[in-house]
Homo-oligomer: A and B are copies of this chain.
Amino acid sequence: MRATAKAHTNIALIKYWGKRDEQLITPMNNSLSLTLDGFYTTTTVEFHEDRKEDTFILDEEQIHGVAYQRVTDYLDFIRIYADKPNLYASVNSINAVPTAAGFASSASGFAALAAAATRALDLTVSDKELSRLTRQGSGSACRSIYGGFAEWEQGSLADGSDSYAVPIAPANHWDIRVAAVVLSATMKDVSSREGMKRTVDTSVFYPGWVKHIPTDLKNIKAAIDARDFELVGQIAEANCLKMHATTLGANPPFTYWHDTTMAVMQTVQAMRKSGIPAYFTIDAGPNVKVLYLPEHEEIVQKTLIETSGVTDVILSRPGQGISYI
């Protein structure tokens, strides 16, 4: 009753922004991501017949409070799913996702947890089923089941059973790179969960966001298929700008951008003007991720690190899906 799984985080090129059902974690729109080699979580889950509670160790530290609660709540969900209500687990995770990089470690974290927990219980689950189960831990984590490009299909059923990710193209389809740009000031006033909810509930621009997603998705999938980097970059950057625009139309309005976020956006646009194809995308926080091609790695890294307010630039390649160790 013991298994170890490794899962990578992913960066959305078409953003998940808004829940249809807060409890089931089903989204208002499909999203599309690239799994990243450089950032991952390795988790061992062992179930014990003689325990009365779960334990959670993260990076060699015993975890209590909110983070523990999220893990044990998720294990409750898995216990019900497996019809093993009396088995408690010890969970041991190592995060290779620098918090400062502004990646949600919940994506790799819940993908690894779902994979290790189901495997430890000897459940036979398909990738789709694992993605569906992972979704209920953390929405965007459901895309991390697959390597390369994956699409989270929002589904339409009330019970969420048709809301899971599917593979679009494997990691070896195309070597495009992502630089995670770490900023000096990264405080955020509004959590992504709260920001998403406020936007869905109040933004005058939310209908415009939802309406345009199918077009962005259709176009980016064709561009990925054709390995058209400029087109992928343009669509991803425009989609990110649209997501962030919705927060400006919320009541009260808010933004995840800092002055330093804007400085990096300007740097990326200036690189393009000088002939280097590079494009940015930004999640619900101030940090910026930059898409580029392998042949421009040196100049992109150098230009980003020299931008005012940037403290680190961490590079990544397309990553693999779930693996078991």
Contacts and interface: CB of A to CB of B under 8 A. Distances in A.
A249 B245 contact: yes
A223 B92 CA distance: 57
A248 B256 CA distance: 14
Contacts of A259: 259-260, 262-263, 266, 308
A252 interface: yes
A205 B249 contact: yes
Given A204-B205, A242-B248, A245-B248, 17 more contacts: A204-B208, A204-B212, A205-B205, A205-B245, A208-B249, A212-B249, A234-B252, A238-B251, A241-B248, A241-B255, A242-B253, A245-B245, A245-B249, A258-B262, A259-B262, A259-B308, A262-B262
Label chain A's interface by main secondary structure: helix
A244 B248 CA distance: 8
Interface string A194-208: 000000000111011
Contacts of A203: 208
Given A242-B249, A251-B238, A211 B205 contact: no
A301 B308 CA distance: 25
A183 B33 CA distance: 38
A237 B258 CA distance: 17
B234 A241 contact: no
A253 to B, nearest CB: 5
A261 B261 CA distance: 12
Contacts of A251: 238
Interface string A165-188: 000000000000000000000000
A29 interface: no
A205 B252 CA distance: 17
Q: Which 7 A-B pairs have the closest CB atoms?
A: A245-B248, A245-B245, A259-B263, A259-B262, A241-B248, A204-B208, A205-B205
Interface in A256-311: 257-263, 266, 308
A209 interface: yes
